[in-house]
Amino acid sequence: MTLGAPLHDLLAALSRAAAPILDLIAPERCGACGDEGALFCTSCRAALLAPGAVSLHPPPQGVRAAATVGSYVDGLDAALRTLKFHGVPQLARPLGAALAAPIAAVTAELEGAAPALVAPILVPTPTDPARRRERGFDHALLLATAAGEATGLRVVELLERTRAVEPLHGLGRAERRRALDRAIAIRPGASALTPLDREALVILVDDIWTSGATFEAAARALTAAGWQHIAAVAVAREPLRERRGTPMGAV
Ligand SMILES: [Zn+2]
């Protein structure tokens, strides 16, 4: 039996009206392990977001220091997928706050490189506008904002995408570099920056560091515009062996 069209429409309307209420009463689930109770459960916080797990990596080209909260495995991957693909932007707060440790690590690594009196600025890597519209939020900006709240550093939306880029998932390093060639530029509105900001250490912020092609494209745009001190932080780094397009055993 099929429902009559008016009844079907009424039920659909009721379900739409109830959705925000259901969201409020539904128990929160941990973005990493899926357990009910909290957006990021205590044990996942301890295991995944502990400052001790932060590691510096050999930086991508054009970047002088780079660090991540952890690896894109074991729960951090699930949390980032939940944030981005399941539409849970609230997860950006704990994940972005955890960026305070890699931010401290790259700042310490480059101590003395940028003038000490100029505070570093956090710059989200720019998201494709079409994907931002689809999701309804900009994950890199949300992560940078949470990191800014945790560190007291200013967030500057300095970069923008100049054109649409095919999804990078599944592409190798060279293909990613080609896809991103001149796809990132300084935003025209960024001219409001002070001369001192141009001396600042720019810390690029992203969710996942896969091949480093996005950081490299951002660094090229910044370097061409005169910035000299560029670092990068991400929540998670994809382990080498899992990077598509990278032959097994390659380093
Ligand atoms: Zn958990």
Residue 163 pLDDT: 85
C-alpha span between 56 and 174 (Å, rounded): 23
Higher pLDDT, residue 170 or 38: 38
Please report whether residue 2 resides in a domain: no
> Which tens digit of pLDDT belongs to each residue from 45-65?
999 998 777 889 999 999 999
The rounded Å distance from CA 49 to ligand 1 centre is: 11
- Which CATH number covers residue 203? 3.40.50
Please report whether residue 15 resides in a domain: no
The rounded Å distance from CA 48 to ligand 1 centre is: 9
pLDDT above 70 covers what percent of the chain?
Answer: 82
C-alpha span between 46 and 38 (Å, rounded): 14
Rounded mean pLDDT of the chain?
84
The letter for the amino acid at 111 is E
What does residue 233 show for φ and ψ, rounded to 5 degrees?
-130, 150
Residue 160 pLDDT: 94
**Do the Cβ atoms of 219 and 62 come closer than 8 Å?**
yes
Q: How confident is the model at residue 112 (pLDDT cuts 50, 70, 90)?
A: confident
Please report whether residue 14 resides in a domain: no
Three-class SS of residue 239?
Answer: coil
Please report whether residue 212 resides in a domain: yes
Please report whether residue 18 resides in a domain: no
The rounded Å distance from CA 44 to ligand 1 centre is: 4
The rounded Å distance from CA 37 to ligand 1 centre is: 9
**Structural domain of 88:** 51-242
DSSP states along 11-78:
HHHHHHHHHHHHHHHSPPB-TTT--BT-SS-HHHHHHHS-GGG-EEEPPPTT-SEEEEEEESSTTHHH
Does the pTM surpass 0.85? The reply is: no
Please report whether residue 10 resides in a domain: no
The rounded Å distance from CA 143 to ligand 1 centre is: 19
**Do the Cβ atoms of 27 and 39 come closer than 8 Å?**
no
Please report whether residue 238 resides in a domain: yes
CB count within 10 Å of CB 239 equals 10
The rounded Å distance from CA 27 to ligand 1 centre is: 13
**Domain total for the chain?**
1
The rounded Å distance from CA 90 to ligand 1 centre is: 15
